[in-house]
Amino acid sequence: AQKVTQAQTEISVVEKEDVTLDCVYETRDTTYYLFWYKQPPSGELVFLIRRNSFDEQNEISGRYSWNFQKSTSSFNFTITASQVVDSAVYFCALSEGWDSNYQLIWGAGTKLIIKP
Amino acid sequence: GAGVSQTPSNKVTEKGKYVELRCDPISGHTALYWYRQSLGQGPEFLIYFQGTGAADDSGLPNDRFFAVRPEGSVSTLKIQRTERGDSAVYLCASSSGGDGTRAGSTQYFGPGTRLLVL
Protein backbone atom coordinates (compact mmCIF):
# COMPACT_ATOMS: atom_id res chain seq x y z
CA ALA A 1 0.00 0.00 0.00
CA GLN A 2 1.07 3.56 -0.56
CA LYS A 3 2.42 5.50 2.37
CA VAL A 4 4.45 8.61 3.16
CA THR A 5 6.50 8.82 6.34
CA GLN A 6 7.94 11.97 7.83
CA ALA A 7 9.65 10.68 10.92
CA GLN A 8 10.63 14.08 12.27
CA THR A 9 7.66 15.50 14.11
CA GLU A 10 9.35 18.75 15.05
CA ILE A 11 12.72 20.33 14.36
CA SER A 12 14.06 23.44 16.02
CA VAL A 13 17.18 25.24 14.80
CA VAL A 14 18.75 28.65 15.16
CA GLU A 15 18.51 31.03 12.26
CA LYS A 16 21.16 30.59 9.55
CA GLU A 17 21.62 26.91 10.29
CA ASP A 18 21.00 24.38 7.54
CA VAL A 19 18.20 21.90 8.12
CA THR A 20 17.05 18.75 6.30
CA LEU A 21 13.53 17.40 6.43
CA ASP A 22 13.21 13.71 5.70
CA CYS A 23 10.54 12.00 3.61
CA VAL A 24 10.30 8.28 2.90
CA TYR A 25 7.59 6.87 0.68
CA GLU A 26 6.15 3.49 -0.26
CA THR A 27 4.47 2.67 -3.53
CA ARG A 28 4.11 -0.28 -5.87
CA ASP A 29 3.66 1.95 -8.90
CA THR A 30 6.58 2.63 -11.19
CA THR A 31 5.07 5.95 -12.17
CA TYR A 32 4.41 8.42 -9.40
CA TYR A 33 4.92 12.00 -8.32
CA LEU A 34 6.29 13.44 -5.13
CA PHE A 35 5.51 16.85 -3.71
CA TRP A 36 6.51 19.16 -0.91
CA TYR A 37 4.13 21.73 0.51
CA LYS A 38 4.64 24.38 3.16
CA GLN A 39 1.91 25.30 5.65
CA PRO A 40 2.76 28.50 7.53
CA PRO A 41 0.85 29.52 10.66
CA SER A 42 -1.74 31.23 8.45
CA GLY A 43 -2.81 27.73 7.41
CA GLU A 44 -2.74 27.85 3.62
CA LEU A 45 -0.81 25.05 1.91
CA VAL A 46 1.83 26.45 -0.42
CA PHE A 47 3.22 24.29 -3.21
CA LEU A 48 7.03 24.05 -3.25
CA ILE A 49 8.03 21.33 -5.68
CA ARG A 50 6.83 18.40 -7.77
CA ARG A 51 9.10 15.60 -8.91
CA ASN A 52 8.19 12.61 -11.11
CA SER A 53 9.54 9.12 -10.61
CA PHE A 54 11.58 9.17 -13.79
CA ASP A 55 13.61 12.21 -12.85
CA GLU A 56 16.11 11.65 -10.10
CA GLN A 57 18.01 14.85 -10.63
CA ASN A 58 18.38 16.92 -7.53
CA GLU A 59 16.88 20.36 -7.66
CA ILE A 60 17.90 23.66 -6.15
CA SER A 61 15.75 26.73 -5.87
CA GLY A 62 17.42 29.54 -3.97
CA ARG A 63 17.96 28.33 -0.42
CA TYR A 64 15.85 25.22 -1.01
CA SER A 65 17.14 21.94 -2.41
CA TRP A 66 15.65 18.50 -2.84
CA ASN A 67 17.38 15.13 -2.95
CA PHE A 68 15.35 12.36 -4.63
CA GLN A 69 16.76 8.84 -4.27
CA LYS A 70 14.67 5.97 -5.63
CA SER A 71 17.08 3.41 -4.20
CA THR A 72 16.08 4.44 -0.68
CA SER A 73 12.57 5.71 -1.56
CA SER A 74 13.41 9.08 -0.13
CA PHE A 75 12.73 12.65 -1.15
CA ASN A 76 14.46 14.88 1.35
CA PHE A 77 14.24 18.64 1.56
CA THR A 78 17.08 20.91 2.71
CA ILE A 79 16.87 24.55 3.64
CA THR A 80 20.20 26.32 3.61
CA ALA A 81 20.84 29.33 5.83
CA SER A 82 17.41 29.07 7.43
CA GLN A 83 15.39 32.16 8.22
CA VAL A 84 12.64 32.83 10.72
CA VAL A 85 10.15 33.07 7.84
CA ASP A 86 10.85 29.42 7.07
CA SER A 87 9.03 28.45 10.25
CA ALA A 88 6.08 26.33 9.18
CA VAL A 89 4.82 22.78 8.91
CA TYR A 90 6.21 21.03 5.87
CA PHE A 91 4.37 18.17 4.20
CA CYS A 92 5.64 15.57 1.78
CA ALA A 93 3.01 13.94 -0.46
CA LEU A 94 2.75 11.20 -3.07
CA SER A 95 0.52 10.83 -6.12
CA GLU A 96 0.48 7.52 -7.95
CA GLY A 97 0.05 6.45 -11.53
CA TRP A 98 -1.09 7.94 -14.81
CA ASP A 99 -4.78 7.17 -14.51
CA SER A 100 -7.67 9.03 -13.01
CA ASN A 101 -6.79 8.67 -9.35
CA TYR A 102 -4.96 11.82 -8.50
CA GLN A 103 -5.43 11.95 -4.79
CA LEU A 104 -2.42 12.98 -2.75
CA ILE A 105 -1.23 10.73 0.02
CA TRP A 106 0.30 12.85 2.74
CA GLY A 107 2.89 12.46 5.43
CA ALA A 108 2.09 13.68 8.91
CA GLY A 109 4.21 16.78 8.45
CA THR A 110 7.31 18.16 10.13
CA LYS A 111 6.99 21.31 12.19
CA LEU A 112 10.04 23.48 11.62
CA ILE A 113 10.87 26.18 14.15
CA ILE A 114 13.55 28.68 13.27
CA LYS A 115 14.69 30.67 16.28
CA PRO A 116 16.20 34.11 15.82
CA GLY B 1 -4.49 35.54 -11.29
CA ALA B 2 -6.80 34.66 -8.46
CA GLY B 3 -6.11 31.55 -6.47
CA VAL B 4 -8.52 29.04 -5.00
CA SER B 5 -11.06 30.69 -2.74
CA GLN B 6 -13.18 29.09 -0.05
CA THR B 7 -16.13 30.39 1.89
CA PRO B 8 -16.83 30.76 4.69
CA SER B 9 -13.42 30.95 6.30
CA ASN B 10 -14.91 29.84 9.59
CA LYS B 11 -18.12 28.04 10.39
CA VAL B 12 -19.50 27.24 13.81
CA THR B 13 -22.54 25.01 13.97
CA GLU B 14 -24.37 22.82 16.40
CA LYS B 15 -24.41 19.07 16.38
CA GLY B 16 -27.08 17.76 14.04
CA LYS B 17 -27.18 20.79 11.78
CA TYR B 18 -26.54 20.90 8.03
CA VAL B 19 -23.62 22.87 6.57
CA GLU B 20 -22.40 23.80 3.12
CA LEU B 21 -18.84 24.72 2.30
CA ARG B 22 -18.01 26.41 -0.97
CA CYS B 23 -14.92 26.25 -3.17
CA ASP B 24 -14.13 28.43 -6.16
CA PRO B 25 -11.18 26.93 -8.09
CA ILE B 26 -8.57 28.65 -10.19
CA SER B 27 -10.12 29.68 -13.48
CA GLY B 28 -9.65 27.03 -16.15
CA HIS B 29 -8.77 24.23 -13.76
CA THR B 30 -10.76 21.13 -14.61
CA ALA B 31 -9.85 19.07 -11.56
CA LEU B 32 -11.06 19.90 -8.07
CA TYR B 33 -10.33 18.14 -4.80
CA TRP B 34 -11.64 18.24 -1.26
CA TYR B 35 -9.48 17.28 1.71
CA ARG B 36 -10.00 17.40 5.45
CA GLN B 37 -7.26 18.26 7.90
CA SER B 38 -7.46 17.63 11.60
CA LEU B 39 -5.16 19.40 14.03
CA GLY B 40 -1.58 18.16 13.85
CA GLN B 41 -2.20 15.86 10.90
CA GLY B 42 -1.72 15.86 7.17
CA PRO B 43 -4.70 16.40 4.88
CA GLU B 44 -7.00 13.48 4.26
CA PHE B 45 -8.51 13.00 0.80
CA LEU B 46 -12.28 13.20 0.50
CA ILE B 47 -13.33 13.51 -3.13
CA TYR B 48 -12.01 14.42 -6.56
CA PHE B 49 -13.94 15.99 -9.44
CA GLN B 50 -12.99 15.94 -13.07
CA GLY B 51 -15.29 18.47 -14.67
CA THR B 52 -18.79 18.02 -13.28
CA GLY B 53 -18.45 14.41 -12.23
CA ALA B 54 -16.99 12.90 -9.11
CA ALA B 55 -14.15 10.75 -10.44
CA ASP B 56 -13.21 9.42 -7.02
CA ASP B 57 -15.30 9.77 -3.86
CA SER B 58 -13.60 6.98 -1.97
CA GLY B 59 -12.50 9.31 0.82
CA LEU B 60 -15.94 10.46 1.91
CA PRO B 61 -16.29 9.03 5.43
CA ASN B 62 -20.00 8.20 5.25
CA ASP B 63 -23.24 9.13 3.53
CA ARG B 64 -23.62 12.32 5.57
CA PHE B 65 -21.00 13.84 3.29
CA PHE B 66 -21.82 14.83 -0.25
CA ALA B 67 -20.24 17.16 -2.80
CA VAL B 68 -21.38 18.64 -6.09
CA ARG B 69 -19.87 20.60 -8.92
CA PRO B 70 -22.82 21.18 -11.25
CA GLU B 71 -21.17 23.46 -13.82
CA GLY B 72 -17.63 22.18 -13.60
CA SER B 73 -16.36 25.17 -11.68
CA VAL B 74 -17.58 26.00 -8.18
CA SER B 75 -18.02 23.06 -5.84
CA THR B 76 -20.03 22.69 -2.65
CA LEU B 77 -19.28 20.19 0.08
CA LYS B 78 -22.39 19.35 2.05
CA ILE B 79 -22.45 17.76 5.48
CA GLN B 80 -25.72 16.56 6.97
CA ARG B 81 -26.42 15.91 10.64
CA THR B 82 -23.03 17.23 11.67
CA GLU B 83 -21.17 15.52 14.49
CA ARG B 84 -18.43 16.86 16.77
CA GLY B 85 -15.97 14.58 15.02
CA ASP B 86 -16.55 16.50 11.78
CA SER B 87 -14.71 19.48 13.26
CA ALA B 88 -11.65 20.10 11.10
CA VAL B 89 -10.29 22.37 8.41
CA TYR B 90 -11.80 21.53 5.04
CA LEU B 91 -9.39 22.22 2.21
CA CYS B 92 -10.14 22.60 -1.45
CA ALA B 93 -7.57 22.33 -4.22
CA SER B 94 -7.66 22.59 -7.98
CA SER B 95 -5.35 21.52 -10.77
CA SER B 96 -5.17 21.76 -14.52
CA GLY B 97 -4.68 18.01 -14.99
CA GLY B 98 -7.07 15.13 -15.07
CA ASP B 99 -7.34 14.28 -18.74
CA GLY B 100 -5.59 10.97 -18.28
CA THR B 101 -2.32 12.15 -19.77
CA ARG B 102 -1.18 14.65 -17.21
CA ALA B 103 -1.12 12.73 -14.00
CA GLY B 104 0.52 14.43 -11.11
CA SER B 105 -0.58 17.92 -12.06
CA THR B 106 0.12 20.22 -9.18
CA GLN B 107 -2.75 20.86 -6.81
CA TYR B 108 -3.11 24.43 -5.57
CA PHE B 109 -4.91 24.89 -2.31
CA GLY B 110 -7.33 27.43 -0.94
CA PRO B 111 -7.14 28.87 2.58
CA GLY B 112 -9.59 26.31 3.95
CA THR B 113 -12.82 26.48 5.94
CA ARG B 114 -12.43 25.87 9.64
CA LEU B 115 -15.52 23.96 10.78
CA LEU B 116 -16.36 23.68 14.46
CA VAL B 117 -19.27 21.52 15.52
CA LEU B 118 -20.41 22.24 19.07
Structure confidence by residue, pLDDT tens digits, B13-68 = 999 999 999 999 999 888 899 999 999 899 999 999 988 988 889 999 999 999 99
Say yes or no: A30 contacts chain B, CB-CB below 8 A: no
At A18, the pLDDT band (50, 70, 90 cuts) reads: very high
Nearest to A95 by CA among A59, A51, A65: A51
A vs B: CB pairs below 8 A: 78
For A91-102, write each residue's pLDDT tens digit. Answer: 999 988 765 447
Residues of chain A in contact with residue B88, where contact means CB-CB under 8 angstroms, are none
At residue B97, the pLDDT reads: 66
At residue B69, the pLDDT reads: 96
Residue B113 per-residue DSSP state: E
**Distance between A78 CA and the closest CA of chain B, angstroms:** 20
Averaged pLDDT for residues B65-76: 96
Half-sphere exposure of A89 (CA within 13 A, CB side): 19
pLDDT at A61 over 70: yes
Q: Which residues, numbered 44 to 103 in chain A, qualify as contacts with chain B under a Cβ-Cβ cut-off of 8 Å?
A: 44-47, 50, 52, 91, 93, 95, 97-103
Averaged pLDDT for residues A109-115: 97
At residue A109, the pLDDT reads: 96
Q: How far apart are CA B35 and CA B41, in angstroms?
A: 12
